[in-house]
Structure 1
């Protein structure tokens, strides 16, 4: 997952950007849009679509212009979106809640792209089951999805964070830390996870396939911008499904597309496909739609918001996990007067129905 999951203390931006949603520039009819993305296996269709002409094709269809911009730092991409510099951004469900939504920017998830299905994991050098982690120091990127994965794993082992001690370690340093004799427990994501679990004596004791659907990778857009410019939603969803059809295609054409995506992400085809194996891609709009409109999503987001509140990620003075409202097609969570994160299936349904 490269650096695309490093939330660490990014919430600091939320309090200072809380007025960004009030910017009139975000709520108007317009023709030019800019979407930010960062390197991660599940988001590589975006730069490929831009380079191959798929972005232009769909933008032209709806009479608009869409720029797809790479930001080298994941957290910075979300901060810039929150500040109104981008109309949309690639982001996890947890970070969509804790940065733009908690920062006051009404945000809509219009594409449910994939979920981590083994890309994130807990590795022990001392112990063979997750229960053996009790009493150990655990190296991980604190307050990231690694931290969330650990917390959810501990629940399954009838443990809590009180039973371990976390050691904040950047994603850039996690592999080196894992090699240290003093390090006995590590939580990380691919491609670092591949290296960490290959260490002699290392055992993967828990991974994200055990909490399917909980670490989601989304495309979100500013809700006001989307409301005033539905053409943007139609074009983005059209771009996405045309491109991931190529990603899935096992012909030479599909292989060439994956090779290009791999190169854009800094790896080779073998490395890219290894990461794809532990990423549950929603290749068909009907499948993404079924998940977004199903009964599991509200339960998942309740787990996520509980973790975020317990770790002070919804804001310094927030008194309840209900402070930030979350709207899903089947159930609303939290405040009904402060809904800031919306799971909007409108455009995926249009794709599923062949109406784009």
Structure 2
């Protein structure tokens, strides 16, 4: 398998990106600022199995169908660098973007950009894993150098894995390695521990003597992939949220089908992501898609989401990703049912279940 930078969800935020985001706002408002109604919107996306329904929907005319229904125009814009797509959203170039829950928190929300997660699309269910050479137990990682993309979801996975083994972050030493270089680095004889995501993960697991000792399947629901939209834009233009939900769930229903049409849709998504249908289907097997809007809304409403985001924000704060903040509570989050986490006067990340519920109730 050939791995390229454009075929991955590069799930990390550098300190420079965080600093740039924080420079956008010196304080975080408790309510979203006002925005004007408009009819044309730009949504950024990057290549990852769980996000390929978006460009496919554009290619298949599903985006236009739903945009026309609400009298708007939606432009889906591919950005080859995932971090850059989130950074551009944070800077105001995009009205929405595909992003992980951790990066939604640490880039736009931590930078003061009020952001609403309107679609909980999927969670990693084995797409991310910890690998060891010459051992089949996570306990054997103690004292090793672990190669990974630091301050990333991989770093978060490592921390959660260590917790389950009764170990601390200080029991290992991390070696920052880019997603483009990690397969080559793990090939070196003296490198015996790494954390990676697919498709690199599957390539690295294929080496002789390598065992996957922990994966995201053991922390289901913690590494989430979202569609987020600028809160002020959404408030002024609720039809954008309705159209996006309509696009997503129509495409989900199509790609879940096991007939010729479903197979053709998945094959088209594979081609758009630069891989084969077989490889794409393997990636989908370790991606838990919330194809049913009722299930997605339930995930957004569940107490488990608050627990997950508590873990994510505590990890992020411990790694200095809330630059200049004195506590993990500095970045406020809001959840369905008026639940909040952190400072309720400075909420900048909101999990909005309303559009998923409209889809579930057939009211789009």
Bin of the TM-score, shorter chain as denominator length: over 0.9
Q: Does 1:266 align with 2:263?
A: no
Runs (4+) off by over 6 Å: 19-22
For 1:6 and 1:156, the matched residues in 2 are separated by 23
Where do 5+ consecutive residues of structure 1 fail to align? none
Output the aligned Cα RMSD.
Answer: 1.5
Q: Shift of residue 86 of structure 1?
A: 0.4
- Given the alignment, which residue of 325, 329, 332 partners 1:322? 329
Q: For 1:101-180, list aligned pairs within 5 A.
A: 101-180=109-188
What's the counterpart of residue 2 of structure 1?
8
Q: For 1:1-356, list aligned pairs within 5 A.
A: 2-9=8-15, 10-18=17-25, 27-315=35-323, 317-330=324-337, 331-356=339-364
Give CA-to-partner distance per residue, 1:175-212, whole Å, 9 cap, x none. Answer: 00111001000100000000111110000000000000
Report the TM-score, using the length of structure 1 for normalisation.
0.97
Q: Shift of residue 126 of structure 1?
A: 3.2
Describe the shift of the 1:25–1:2 C-alpha distance in structure 2 as closer, same or farther (beyond 3 A).
same
Give CA-to-partner distance per residue, 1:301-333, whole Å, 9 cap, x none. Answer: 000000000000011x11000000011114210
Describe the shift of the 1:318–1:267 C-alpha distance in structure 2 as closer, same or farther (beyond 3 A).
same
For 1:283 and 1:274, the matched residues in 2 are separated by 17
Q: Shift of residue 170 of structure 1?
A: 0.3
Q: Shift of residue 225 of structure 1?
A: 0.3
For 1:124 and 1:28, the matched residues in 2 are separated by 53
Where do 5+ consecutive residues of structure 2 fail to align? 1-6
Describe the shift of the 1:3–1:352 C-alpha distance in structure 2 as closer, same or farther (beyond 3 A).
closer
For 2:256 and 2:219, the matched residues in 1 are separated by 24
Q: Shift of residue 2 of structure 1?
A: 1.2
For 2:144 and 2:19, the matched residues in 1 are separated by 29
For 2:156 and 2:206, the matched residues in 1 are separated by 23
Q: How many residues align?
A: 354
For 1:7 and 1:281, the matched residues in 2 are separated by 24
**Does the Cα contact within 8 Å between 2:183 and 2:204 map onto a contact in 1?**
yes
Q: What SS does the aligned partner of 1:11 have?
A: helix
For 2:187 and 2:221, the matched residues in 1 are separated by 31
For 1:164 and 1:254, the matched residues in 2 are separated by 45
**Does the Cα contact within 8 Å between 2:44 and 2:77 map onto a contact in 1?**
yes
99-108 vs 119-128, which moves further: 119-128
**Does the Cα contact within 8 Å between 1:38 and 1:70 map onto a contact in 2?**
yes
